[in-house]
């Protein structure tokens, strides 16, 4: 599949190459198509994937033929499952309306999305630093007009979402208390803004996926004893200064973590295989039994992750994260 790589980014050549990619993709069996996340996302699970995979149910793709990921974010686990298993029904959700808009746009309008992204890429890449800065903040303003409803075009709004994610500081997505996106510009020399090959493959893979803008508990009717459920909620902050839960304007505090643990039990009682990940409070306070108490009737596994504990880069290192498993 390497020979499908789109290297030249001028619009005309890209359009022709894109057609080639499409024709080749049409001939692939769906099983052979590998997909990967199309955005960076705070708390994204790509780096923990190998550990999480060890806990996938053995019957995944056989008796367990449904998958539910109710806090989808960048979807690292979803894309692994879409790449490697035949699953009959998939349900994904998130409360971030614009993020869900991007998933829907990739599913339903991938060609228009790619054209818009190439246009943004071709405008942005040749600019010098000052011009890029102006361009970035202009697009951020437009994106906030999309959030407020002033701009209604979901394809353009979704393209702005991906553009900002690829060019902003650390690929963060963060909004202020009014719900407006406020991440500053990043300093990437040549960010890849349009990965058309991956987007097209994702579009094919999403065709039978139910994509919902909703809180996690609305997945209840989908889940049954043949479902594998993965919950990756906003992390419980390890320190007061490390709080990062502003994926949208509603915060996810301890009360929400408690409600989620009740939902976990409910879903487990339905017979589903359920995995939940979160930060381990014991990294900073060994007497903090918050999750050990909440999930005392389930198996709590601690896995090593490379993460920042606080904003000081020198404090990065390996810390534990928890995986709660019910089987």
Ligand X SMILES: C[S@@+](CC[C@H](N)C(=O)[O-])C[C@H]1O[C@@H](n2cnc3c(N)ncnc32)[C@H](O)[C@@H]1O
Question: What residues make contact with ligand X under the rule CB under 6 A?
Answer: 41, 43-45, 70-71, 73-76, 93-96, 215-216, 232-234, 247-248, 252
Q: Which of 122, 120, 105 is nearest to 199 (CA)?
A: 105
Question: What CA–CA distances, in Å, run from 223 to 77, 230, 263?
Answer: 17, 11, 12
CB-nearer residue toward ligand X: 94 or 195: 94
Closest distance to ligand X from the beta carbon of 21 (Å): 25
DSSP-derived pairing of the beta strands 89-94 and 66-69: parallel
CB-nearer residue toward ligand X: 25 or 309: 309
Q: Which of the 8 DSSP states describes residue 233?
A: P
The strand ranges marked E within 179-261 are 209-213, 227-231
CB-nearer residue toward ligand X: 6 or 154: 154
Closest distance to ligand X from the beta carbon of 298 (Å): 19
CB-nearer residue toward ligand X: 4 or 213: 213
Residue nearest ligand X, CB atom distance: 73
Closest distance to ligand X from the beta carbon of 80 (Å): 10
CB-nearer residue toward ligand X: 71 or 161: 71
Question: What's the rounded Cα separation, in Å, for the pair 99 and 81?
Answer: 20
Question: What CA–CA distances, in Å, run from 146 to 40, 156, 159?
Answer: 20, 9, 11
Closest distance to ligand X from the beta carbon of 41 (Å): 4
Closest distance to ligand X from the beta carbon of 223 (Å): 14
């Amino acid at each position: 599949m390497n020979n499908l790589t789109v290297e030249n980014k001028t619009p005309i050549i890209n359009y022709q190459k894109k057609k080639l990619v499409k024709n080749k993709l049409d001939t692939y069996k769906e099983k052979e198509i590998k997909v990967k996340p199309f955005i960076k996302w705070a708390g994204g699970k790509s780096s923990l994937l190998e550990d999480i995979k060890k806990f996938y149910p053995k019957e995944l793709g056989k008796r367990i033929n449904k998958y539910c990921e109710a806090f989808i974010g960048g979807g690292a686990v979803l894309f692994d499952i879409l790449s490697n298993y035949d699953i009959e029904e998939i349900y994904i959700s998130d409360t971030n309306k614009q993020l869900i808009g991007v998933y829907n746009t990739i599913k339903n309008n991938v060609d228009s999305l790619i054209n818009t992204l190439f246009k943004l890429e071709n405008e942005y890449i040749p600019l010098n630093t000052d011009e890029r800065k102006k361009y970035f903040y202009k697009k951020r303003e437009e994106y906030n007009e999309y959030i407020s409803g002033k701009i209604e075009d979901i394809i353009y709004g979704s393209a702005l979402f991906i553009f900002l994610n690829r060019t902003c500081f650390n690929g963060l997505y963060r909004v202020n208390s009014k719900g407006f996106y406020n991440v500053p510009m990043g300093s990437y020399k040549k960010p890849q803004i349009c990965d058309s090959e991956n987007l097209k493959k994702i579009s094919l893979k999403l065709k039978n996926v139910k994509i919902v803008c909703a809180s996690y508990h609305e997945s209840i009717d989908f889940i049954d004893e043949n479902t594998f459920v993965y919950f990756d909620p906003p992390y419980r902050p390890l320190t007061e200064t490390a709080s990062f839960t502003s994926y949208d304007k509603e915060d996810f505090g301890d009360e929400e973590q408690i409600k989620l643990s009740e939902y976990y039990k409910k879903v487990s009682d339905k017979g589903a295989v359920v995995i939940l990940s979160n930060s381990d409070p014991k990294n900073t306070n060994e007497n903090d039994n918050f999750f050990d108490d909440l999930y005392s009737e389930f198996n709590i596994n601690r896995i090593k992750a490379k993460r920042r504990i606080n904003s000081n880069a020198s404090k990065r290192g390996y810390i534990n994260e928890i995986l709660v498993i019910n089987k």
